[in-house]
Amino acid sequence: MTVTLADVAARARVSPATVSRVLNGNYPVAASTRERVLRAVDDLDYVLNGPASSLAAATSDLVGILVNDIADPFFGIMAGAAQTQIGGPGDGSGRAGGEKLAVICNTGGSPERELTYLTLLQRQRAAAVVLTGGAVENPEHQAAMAAKLAKLADAGTRIVFCGRPPLPEGDALVAALAFDNRGGGRRLTEHLISLGHRRIGYVAGPRERTTTRHRLEGHREALHAAGLDDFPAGGGPGDGSGHRAADDDPLVVHGPYDRRSGYEATLELLRRAPDVTAIVAANDTVALGACAAVRDQGMRIPQDISVAGFDDLPFSVDAVPALTTVRLPLFEAGARAGRLAMGKENPPPGGIATIAAELMIRGSTAAPRG
């Protein structure tokens, strides 16, 4: 029996027009209403109206690429690279009927929006979905994601993670390409320690993101190994170690992955600990804000304070001084994700590959004075 829009509306106790607004995503709808509609869509397995609904096991020529922020070069580079491998005019595949329409889905970092896009792609029987960047560490959202991805996979959609670890539960993935954020964070802080820095501030990303946690864990592992911090390696709130909770660390300030956050968090760090000699930023964009804050306080980089970033975005080498950072092969990872999504490359053993991070030492870091 074909499930209709009216069936979904009845299950969610809303009008068909409201269901359309939720699924089209172009109109404001209360969060509780959106949640009811999406739950009804999942419960009833609603996909497409009309004749297309009979194509239960078929996929379309649509490929979705989910990003947190298309304006952020981190995501733009990966999405653009994936698109070069997805097919279409000029892709060089030479295969008849190989054309695919790649659609960039900008979630704005919203977990709800991420699920909404996946529901829309499910309705359209997407041939593949590539999800980029760190995941939200919320058990309810992770469970909802696992269930949604399983439904997509059951319908024939190929699913690839690029730059994010696999979910704790769920085996719907073709592959997960995870960056070694922890290792990169550790090597960056080890570099600063080797220069002689002992008071190192850290401008972290949003608390709920896997990328934030892994990079900060690497930083703390290096500090702990050098005896410079009373956090155990991997420690944090409720770990039973007797050490203070991670959220109490005065040398760590969390915020969004943007320049303004870097600026404001650095001012806060300098207020809390005027004796810091180095600042590690969550990414290169945040690092630019940190550099501006340092200069506005009348200090020089790196003579008075060293600043380091993460990702090695294109502008990093052109900053003055050039930014010490951790290089992630964003284009290479995005292109590989595109090939995996299209079946042009075999998945890695076990479906999971860890992509190495490379320390790039440049002019923004130096030994502390005195």
Among the residue ranges 240-244, 288-292, 321-325, the one predicted with the least confidence is: 240-244
Helices (H) and strands (E) in the chain, counts: 11, 12
Please provide the average confidence, as pLDDT, over all residues in the chain.
87
CATH class of 5-179: alpha beta
Question: Is residue 34 pLDDT above 90, yes or no?
Answer: no
The pLDDT of residue 74: 96
Is there a contact between 149 and 118 (Cβ–Cβ < 8 Å)? yes
- pLDDT tens digits, residue range 67-108? 999 999 999 999 999 999 997 544 444 444 467 899 999 999
Q: Per-domain residue ranges for the chain?
A: 5-179, 181-328
Backbone angles phi, psi at 149, to 5 degrees: -65, -35
CA distance 106 to 72: 11
Nearest to 176 by CA among 333, 38, 14: 333
The mean pLDDT of 218-227, rounded to a whole number, is 96
Using CA atoms of 161, 326, 206, 333 in order, give the dihedral in degrees to the nearest 10: -10
- pLDDT tens digits, residue range 140-185? 999 999 999 999 998 899 999 999 988 876 567 889 999 999 999 9
Q: From start to end of 114-243, where are the E strands?
A: 128-132, 158-162, 175-179, 200-204
The pLDDT of residue 60: 82
The mean pLDDT of 126-136, rounded to a whole number, is 94
The pLDDT of residue 242: 35
The mean pLDDT of 213-232, rounded to a whole number, is 89
- pLDDT tens digits, residue range 230-254? 654 444 433 333 333 456 799 999 9
Question: Is residue 30 pLDDT above 90, yes or no?
Answer: no
Among the residue ranges 20-34, 117-131, 143-157, the one predicted with the least confidence is: 20-34
Hey, what are 112's tokens? 């709800």
Task: Calculate the alpha carbon distances from 178 to 110, 218, 243, 329, 356 in Å.
Answer: 21, 15, 30, 11, 9
> Can you spell out the DSSP letters for 255-271?
--SSHHHHHHHHHHHHH
The pLDDT of residue 33: 86
The mean pLDDT of 318-333, rounded to a whole number, is 97
Which strand ranges, in their side-by-side order, compose the sheet holding 252-254? Answer: 252-254, 200-204, 278-281, 306-308
CA distance 310 to 322: 13
The pLDDT of residue 368: 96
- pLDDT tens digits, residue range 357-369? 999 999 999 999 8
The mean pLDDT of 327-335, rounded to a whole number, is 97
When the candidates are 2.60.40.420, 2.160.10.10, 3.40.50.2300, 3.40.190.10, the CATH number that belongs to 181-328 is 3.40.50.2300
The mean pLDDT of 307-323, rounded to a whole number, is 97
Nearest to 370 by CA among 301, 291, 274, 304: 304
Q: Is 339 helix (H, G, I), strand (E, B) or coil?
A: helix
The mean pLDDT of 282-309, rounded to a whole number, is 98
Is there a contact between 280 and 188 (Cβ–Cβ < 8 Å)? yes
The pLDDT of residue 235: 41
